[in-house]
Amino acid sequence: MSQMPDDTAADEPIHEPRLWRDNGWTARVIKNNDDDGWAVEMIRQGEPEPALVGPWTMGRDKKSPKPLDTSAFNTLVKTAHEVVRRHEQAQQALWHKELSVMTDTGRVKVTLDITPDEDDPYATLAAFDAEGGTIDSVRVAANFKLNAGSAEAWIAQGYGRPR
């Protein structure tokens, strides 16, 4: 099995039967730890962990893996990119909440953006008018629950630090 090349050649394409690197992605066919089969891992350049690990097809001899080729690599890149995109969307949904409430002065959009800092996680609660202008923003605990009631209470108290 091929060893991963050193970082000095990280941009150079590699097209080997069990190792392909091109366009910012590396596909490596590896022995499947769970059985006698093979798996393929897709790693995006610069990332420490694979974005995708999945089963890989056996070759004709039913012992060694089918070699990687251009078509398979392109399909793996497309699949891995989609997995990364869905993960990023899920992270964004987890760290950003948004809702609108009606007030006497019109619609106010309220957002909560969580900063998941390892030592000091926090969130920013912000209010925006109908034109997108900032009305106010305040730092709150990362576990602040944004819902229609908490947003309305924050607006009713004149913004500032929520109670």
Distance of alpha carbon 52 from alpha carbon 9, whole angstroms: 23
Instruction: Please report the pLDDT score of residue 105 as a whole number.
Output: 86
Distance of alpha carbon 80 from alpha carbon 87, whole angstroms: 11
Q: Give the 3-state secondary structure of residue 110.
A: strand
- Ranges of residues in the chain with a pLDDT under 50 are 1-8
Instruction: Please report the pLDDT score of residue 4 as a whole number.
Output: 47
Cα torsion 82, 45, 91, 55 to 10°: value is 50
Whole-model pTM? 0.65
